[in-house]
């Protein structure tokens, strides 16, 4: 844990007691603050009490006594409208911050020589894999890397601050909305596509939130930026011209004149202006597909910025085990592979998996995003048949009509059964049953992890134990 001493002896409201809120409450309590923790959900409150956090209904407190409101990133801050407690804080002059801001202030409060390194990763897609990949490479190289934030462990639940440590943090746009003091030694901005627009008032607000990852960087710091979409291309060019930090462009689409390129499965370092071959990415079994090659290029750039040599980084790329629910191989039977890509909650994320395979029996659906699956039309030839579930099934069937045979299945269990039956009957080599929903999960599941676990369980009901693949 990282104790937060800034508010020792002061009253602090904590609202939202999920992973980040609970860790913030514990860190503040450990640092001597009087914590007033609350969540509107009774089950969540019970879990917080079981974790040793005393509850205090902040709806009924005198807000003029609070030194700060620590807001869970899942609670609306600005859009579609501020939560009632955010409005209460604003009316009484109480600062609204998040757990990442508490971490940032704790780091900045240390003498410069005692501060750890901070590597932060954001983007619409790929940030979890890239964060985990950077952490893996650093640990394999013997560095004291602590991985968390929006992935795995809440930032304040990580081991205490130490000058030799490197904190590798995934940051969501919701978390970035609540930071002011964060200073990144290395910032990584993977890509940008429309997502969470209701929470940011549109694309401009979403981009602005993501851009906060660069604030407070100096000419001693590095910004790693993807060059594979029009948004991040513009950001990379603009920051290269105006920003104080060094900008390293990365791409899995283009051979860059200067930067890091992962093209046709080969990784090149061209930061000096002369392309140097680093290694073959087809030797990295957990990094299949162009999107994972972008992740590899970003991780390579970040680790080079931290002083690792190319051979050491390549060794880490080869041994990376991958992450659950991200093109995770969960079984193979009768020559048919089952791939769990439940983390694909929008079309751009699903695009990466559809691009990586042929002869796909595609299971898709859930709560649709605004763009639906129409942007994936160029990849429909890779799909043999689609099996549709959830709220999106009728809309997706309409999009696929006349282009890809589809079947409305309603539920995931029926989709898996139908896809396996059809793939087995076809008997064609290289068939892939791909669960890449291109949708949020909340119509039928708690989250993408619950959804992916359900898929894995269904597959393991089909595939004999001796043939199962575990993450």
SS (H, E, C) 277-319: EEEEHHHCCCCCCHHHHHHHHHHHHHHHHCCCCHHHHHHHHHH
Whether the ω angle into residue 171 lies within 30 degrees of 0, i.e. cis, is no
Contact 33, 4 (CB under 8 A): yes
Q: By three-state DSSP, how is residue 178 classified? A: coil
Residue 127 among known ligand-binding residues: yes
Q: How far apart are CA 176 and CA 164, in angstroms?
A: 25
User: What's the angle, vertex CA 364, arms to CA 380 and CA 317, rounded to 5?
Assistant: 80
Paired strand residues for 165: 144
Residue 193 among known ligand-binding residues: no
Structure tokens that stand for 141 in this block? 């190289």
Question: Could you write out the DSSP letters of every residue in 77-97?
Answer: SSSSS--HHHHHHHHHT--EE
Residues identified as active-site: 127, 150, 196
Residue 258 among known ligand-binding residues: no
Q: Of 320, 307, 333, nearest to 119 (Cα)?
A: 307
Q: How far apart are CA 268 and CA 254, in angstroms?
A: 11
Residue 130 among known ligand-binding residues: no
Residue 340 among known ligand-binding residues: no
Q: Of 184, 191, 309, 316, nearest to 251 (Cα)?
A: 191
Residue 125 among known ligand-binding residues: yes
Q: How far apart are CA 258 and CA 363, in angstroms?
A: 39
SS (H, E, C) 392-461: CHHHHHHHHCCCCCEEEEECHHHHHHHHHHHHHHHCCCCCEEEECCCEECCCCCCCHHHHHHHHHHHHHC
Buried b (16+ CB within 10 A) or exposed e, 289-315: bbbbbbbbbbbbbbbbbbebebebbbe
Q: How far apart are CA 75 and CA 67, in angstroms?
A: 19
CB atoms within 10 A of CB 322: 20
Structure tokens that stand for 373 in this block? 């699956």
Q: How far apart are CA 33 and CA 307, in angstroms?
A: 38
Q: How far apart are CA 137 and CA 51, in angstroms?
A: 33
Residue 152 among known ligand-binding residues: no
Which residues belong to the annotated binding site for ATP?
A: 123-129
Which residues belong to the annotated binding site?
A: 123-129
């Amino acid at each position: 844990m990282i104790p937060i001493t800034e508010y020792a002896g002061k009253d602090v409201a904590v609202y939202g007691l999920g992973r980040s809120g609970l860790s913030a409450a514990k860190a503040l309590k450990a640092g001597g603050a009087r914590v007033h923790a609350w969540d509107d959900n009774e089950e969540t409150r019970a879990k917080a009490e079981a974790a040793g956090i005393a509850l205090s209904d902040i709806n009924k407190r005198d807000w003029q006594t609070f030194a700060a409101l620590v807001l869970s990133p899942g609670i609306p801050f600005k859009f579609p409208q501020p939560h009632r407690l955010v409005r209460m804080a604003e009316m009484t002059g109480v600062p609204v911050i998040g757990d990442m801001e508490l971490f940032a202030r704790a780091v900045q409060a240390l003498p410069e020589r005692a501060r750890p390194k901070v590597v932060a990763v954001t983007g619409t897609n790929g940030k979890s894999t890239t964060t985990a990949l950077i952490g893996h490479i650093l640990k394999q190289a013997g560095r004291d890397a602590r991985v968390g934030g929006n992935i795995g462990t809440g930032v304040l639940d990580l081991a205490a601050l130490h000058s030799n440590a490197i904190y590798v943090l995934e940051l969501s746009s919701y978390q970035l909305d609540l930071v002011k003091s964060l200073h990144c030694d290395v910032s990584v901005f993977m890509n940008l596509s429309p997502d969470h627009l209701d929470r940011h008032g549109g694309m401009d607000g979403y981009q602005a939130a993501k851009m906060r990852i660069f604030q407070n960087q100096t000419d001693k710091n590095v910004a790693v930026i993807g060059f594979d979409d029009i948004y991040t291309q513009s950001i990379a060019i603009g920051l290269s011209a105006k920003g104080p930090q060094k900008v390293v462009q990365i791409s899995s689409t283009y051979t860059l004149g200067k930067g890091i390129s992962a093209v046709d499965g080969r990784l090149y370092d061209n930061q000096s202006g002369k392309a140097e071959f680093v290694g073959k990415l087809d030797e990295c079994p957990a990094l299949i597909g162009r999107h994972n090659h972008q992740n590899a290029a970003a991780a390579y750039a970040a680790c080079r910025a931290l002083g690792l040599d190319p051979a050491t980084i390549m060794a880490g790329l080869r041994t990376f085990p991958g992450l659950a629910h991200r093109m995770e191989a969960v079984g193979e039977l009768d020559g048919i592979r089952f791939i769990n890509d439940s983390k694909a909650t929008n079309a751009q994320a699903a695009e990466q998996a559809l691009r990586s395979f042929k002869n796909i029996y595609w299971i898709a659906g859930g709560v649709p995003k605004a763009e639906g699956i129409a942007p994936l039309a160029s990849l429909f030839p890779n799909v043999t048949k689609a099996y549709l579930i959830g709220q999106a099934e009728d809309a997706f069937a309409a999009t696929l009509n006349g282009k890809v045979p589809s079947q409305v299945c309603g539920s995931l269990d029926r989709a898996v059964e139908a896809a396996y039956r059809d793939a087995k009957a076809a008997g064609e080599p290289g068939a892939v049953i791909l669960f890449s929903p291109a949708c949020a999960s909340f119509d039928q599941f708690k989250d993408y992890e619950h959804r992916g676990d359900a898929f894995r369980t269904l597959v393991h009901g089909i595939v004999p134990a001796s043939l199962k693949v575990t993450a």
